[in-house]
Amino acid sequence: MPQIVFLPHPDHCPEGAVIEAKEGETVLDAALRNHIDIEHACEKSCACTTCHIVVREGSASMEPSDELEDDMLDKAWGLEPQSRLSCQAVVADQDLVVEIPKYTINQVSEGH
């Protein structure tokens, strides 16, 4: 079973976390199942960027993003080449190292 290593984030997992993931589930579903509450304002429908993550290691094992995800990512705060929407990023057979960005567009607009 692949693992996802979440790098420390002050709100979601201050100490970082290592969780077990099921092949075929999204990074978001694995995180939520393990009490890492990544924001997901559109309820996993690829209609916002609040679940933006950066896959630091292991992205080559995942299916590439599609056009809809790429269009949404263009609006994400702190976009990087390894950025994905965690609601669309499906875990394959390799471990991942993931960073949750400090802000989302929702958090920035709310002044957090």
Do strands 3-6 and 96-99 pair parallel, antiparallel, or not at all (unpaired)?
parallel
CB 8 within 8 A of CB 101: no
Q: How far does the chain reach from its first CA to its final CA, in angstroms?
A: 36
Retrieve residue 87's tokens: 């609601």
Q: What is the pTM of this model?
A: 0.91
For the chain, the domains span 3-109
Do strands 83-85 and 52-57 pair parallel, antiparallel, or not at all (unpaired)?
antiparallel
Looking at domain 3-109, does it have CATH number 3.10.20.30? yes
User: For the CA atoms of the chain, what is the radius of gyration?
Assistant: 13
- Residue 13: exposure state from Cβ atoms within 10 A (0-12, 13-18, ≥19): buried
What string of pLDDT tens digits covers the 112 residues of the chain? 999 999 999 988 999 999 999 999 999 999 999 999 999 999 999 999 999 999 999 999 999 999 999 999 999 989 999 999 999 999 999 999 999 998 776 654 444 4
